[in-house]
Amino acid sequence: MKRMATEVTRMFEALTPQLAQNVFNMLVFPGFLAAFIIGFLYMGIVRKVSARMQHRIGPPLWQPFFDFFKLLSKENITTRDATGALATLCPVVSFASLMTVALFIPIAGLPGMFSVEPIFFQGSLFVVLYFLIMSSVFFAVAGFAAGNPFASLGSIRELTQLFAYEFPFVISLVTIGVLTGFRIVPLFTLQLPFAFFAFLMGVLGKLSLPPFHIPDAEQEIVAGPTTEYSGPRLALFELAKAAGFWVLISLGAVLYLGANSLLTFAVYSLALLAILIVFRVVFARLQIAQAFRFYWFVVGPLALIDLARVLLGFYVM
Amino acid sequence: MHDFVLPFGPQHPALVEPAHIKLRVEGETIKGAELVLGYNHKGIEKSFENRPWAKGVFLSERVCGICGHYHTSCYCQGIEQMLGVEIPDRAKHIRTLVSELERMHSHMLALGLVAWEVGLDTLFHYIFRDRELVMDMQESLTGNRVHFAMNVIGGVRRDIGQENYGKMAKNLDTLEERLKHYLSVFRNDSLMKIRTRNVGHLSRMKAKELNPVGPNLRASGIDYDVRETGYLAYKDLKFRAVTGEGGDAQERCIVRAKECLESIRMIRLSLTTLTEIKGDISLKLPSAVSVKEGLETVSRVEAPRGELFYYMQSGGVKPTRVRIRTPTYQTFHVLEEILKGHTISDVPVIVASLDPCFSCTDRMTIIDTKSCKEKIITKHEILHMRDGGSHEAHGHGGHPHV
């Protein structure tokens, strides 16, 4: 017992300030705890505010937390046709990749773990892009691993939607990337409205919010990829979804609206959240083919206009 | 991509009642659909035969939770036909008024569900909020939100007093305004149009062939409405049937919304007419009604989902047979037909736009199919058993000698 205590003390002594900060970044802010608290709070706000807009009372703000802990306490069921290991791995990888993204974003002007030199290299934007895709792909894989026709259909839709929104989303990020040297730095870029629009549409697609709540369309394919999931695994998926809210809204607030202090970050994040809520309340669901056409033939070309403006030098910082 | 069967139901978020649609899909596209019923079989038709006429009224109300008043109207109307009596004018108007209120709440439910199925939750919640106004009116007039028990054989149970008029006029004004707005949403909202126009298209020719009833038929441009025969007070109320063109999911919604507006007009007229008509609300009939044995009749009314049809055969104080054909029965083969070629995302929209009521219908179809099947199976089984049995006996008999 005493030896263990000394071991632990030694471990803490070994922590250099840099290491301590890294651990803090990973576990507290902007990592695990922030994603958990703020992400679920965002989801709670979305549910509550849209309920009020729909003449409902709605669940309490902290309902997602209740759901999460309740799910954690439930039995872990693996259906006969499911691939158990994959089913557990998918939400974890999905969550982890989103957490990695969070470390790249200088949230609220604080230097994050990967947003300082030397890791803050040229092209960190691309790393973020890939990790975001990874999170979506593993979400889809989870559906295929469940061995359920609704889940498989949901996964097909998830991947199709990924191919649809990724084109304008990438164009939009590249447009900003050209200006920032493919780093993620606070930058006000609303002078490029189409790029922002494409980013917003991409966020709606990634979070599968209306009108793009196609992969988990309740009335059509039950719960999409997560149809067969319950208990702790579903809790992990919920956590990954909360992390998605946290990361994507933070990315928007920093990279497009230029949030560089705690106050501006909070205000811009809530503004973005408000836009998402309006979309959620106002729009019906598109079909997957219609969504695909919208992304490729409406949002994509618009995003290309802004990319051309930046590349041809019509827009200078 | 190979095709597979997607089990749409019996438990599915899009279905408010248990029904099972076996969808043969290839990716998202539907290649075939098969409807499997029988999850709601309650045995009501058989139960009619065990109780006196007067108690059958309550039973018939329980056929459906949404259009119970139409079932009692149709049932009572049949008995009154067999007795050869005509109910007082005031009773006729009250029956009609409650019918039209119930039609409104049923249609608004259907409209709300279509909105929900296309993923427009807001419209769904708005329509259901306004539907509460209709429910309130029903409660104040009849005492109940659903299952009003308004009809008795020979009239109605409860009179409509002047004290309701102020509140009703106000509610009807609000409803008219709101319904006009919803009508324009179903017509003009861009995403609604994308999701419902040309979805589940039922052409005029196909409609004639498959013969659905109610708004589903009228949306295809065929003018068929039992109310046009002028039963109850519909003649006095100058009813005009609402028809549409095109026969897709959008048109069916528009027809329903327009029918609600027509209902509002008729309710207003009916309320003013009721102030002029004095007299009893019910005939003085003995509580144990007896109909001459062997008499039979057919009674029909226009329920929200279409023509409701009762066949009754009298056995004196009780019926010997009551046969109900609910409107949804006529919708099933339409459903199987128009699902083909659409995508999975269209299925909930199409199903909701047809506004099926599985609970009403299941009881009768299942009695049908069951009795049919059982007969066939038992015949086969009997033959088979005889054959199999004799073979077996023969074999057993033979073995020891070998």
Average pLDDT, integer, range B281-300: 86
In a domain, A237, yes or no: yes
- Whether B171 and B136 have beta carbons less than 8 Å apart is answered as yes
**For residue range A34-79, what is the model confidence (pLDDT) as tens digits?**
888 999 999 999 999 999 999 889 999 999 999 999 999 998 888 7
In a domain, A3, yes or no: no
Lowest mean pLDDT among A174-183, B31-40, B162-171: B31-40
* Coil, strand or helix at B314: strand
Min Cα distance A188 → chain B (Å) is 32
User: Taking CB atoms and an 8 Å cutoff, what residues of chain B touch A52?
Assistant: none
**For residue range A258-281, what is the model confidence (pLDDT) as tens digits?**
888 889 889 999 999 999 999 999
**For residue range B315-346, what is the model confidence (pLDDT) as tens digits?**
888 899 888 888 888 888 888 888 888 888 88
Lowest mean pLDDT among A186-190, B50-54, B193-197: A186-190
User: In whole angstroms, what is the distance from residue A314 CA to residue A307 CA?
Assistant: 10
Structure pTM? 0.83
In the predicted model, what is the mean pLDDT of chain B? 82
Query: What pLDDT, on the 0 to 100 scale, is given for residue B369?
Result: 39
Q: Which strands form B29-36's sheet, in the order they lie side by side?
A: B4-8, B20-26, B29-36
> What is the share, in percent, of chain B residues with pLDDT greater than 70?
89
A/B interface, count of CB pairs below 8 Å: 78
Lowest mean pLDDT among A30-39, A85-94, A215-224: A215-224
Residues 192-211 of B with CB under 8 A from A: 192, 194-195
User: In whole angstroms, what is the distance from residue A91 CA to residue A134 CA?
Assistant: 11
CA gyration radius, chain A: 20
Min Cα distance A264 → chain B (Å) is 31
Query: What pLDDT, on the 0 to 100 scale, is given for residue B190?
Result: 86
User: In whole angstroms, what is the distance from residue B38 CA to residue A220 CA?
Assistant: 22
Facing B125 at nearest CB: one of A56, A153, A288: A56
Name the residue type at position B108.
Answer: M
Mutate to test the interface with B, among A81, A285, A298 (most CBs of B within 10 A): A285
Average pLDDT, integer, range B254-259: 92
* Coil, strand or helix at B326: coil
Residues paired with B319 in a beta bridge:
B314
Query: What pLDDT, on the 0 to 100 scale, is given for residue A134?
Result: 92
CATH topology of domain B43-354: Cytochrome-c3 Hydrogenase; chain B (1.10.645)
Whether residues B122 and A222 touch (CB distance < 8 A) is answered with no
User: Taking CB atoms and an 8 Å cutoff, what residues of chain A touch B118?
Assistant: 284-285
Give how many domains chain A has, as a whole number: 1
Q: Tell me the C-alpha to C-alpha distance, in Å, between residue B310 and each of A170, B99, B223, B296, B332.
A: 63, 17, 22, 11, 19
User: In whole angstroms, what is the distance from residue A227 CA to residue A213 CA?
Assistant: 15
Question: Is the pLDDT confidence value at A176 over 50?
Answer: yes
Surface-to-core class of residue B401, CB atoms within 10 Å of its CB (0-12 exposed, 13-18 middle, 19+ buried)? exposed
Pairing of β B296-303 and β B306-314 = antiparallel
Question: Is the pLDDT confidence value at B371 over 60?
Answer: no
In a domain, A28, yes or no: yes
Token look-up 């902007």 returns A30
User: In whole angstroms, what is the distance from residue A19 CA to residue A22 CA?
Assistant: 5
> 3-state secondary structure string, B114-178?
HHHHCCCHHHHHHHHHHHHHHHHHHHHHHCCCCCCCCEECCEECCCCCHHHHHHHHHHHHHHHHH
> What is the share, in percent, of chain B residues with pLDDT greater than 90?
24
> Could you tell me which residue, B105 or B383, shows the higher pLDDT?
B105
Whether residues B189 and A284 touch (CB distance < 8 A) is answered with yes
Ranked by mean pLDDT, the top range of A44-58, A97-111, B377-391 is: A44-58
**For residue range B222-241, what is the model confidence (pLDDT) as tens digits?**
888 888 888 888 888 888 88
Residue A94 belongs to what domain range? 24-311
Lowest mean pLDDT among A6-20, B29-43, B91-105: A6-20
**Structure ipTM:** 0.83
Question: Is the pLDDT confidence value at B392 over 70?
Answer: no
Give the start-to-end residue ranges of the domains of chain B: 43-354
Question: Is the pLDDT confidence value at A135 over 50?
Answer: yes
Average pLDDT, integer, range B119-146: 90
pLDDT band, residue B379 (cuts 50/70/90): very low
Lowest mean pLDDT among A195-204, B303-312, B336-345: B336-345
User: In whole angstroms, what is the distance from residue A300 CA to residue A315 CA?
Assistant: 19
Min Cα distance A156 → chain B (Å) is 9
Query: What pLDDT, on the 0 to 100 scale, is given for residue B390?
Result: 40
| DSSP H or E stretch at residue B351 | helix B347-354
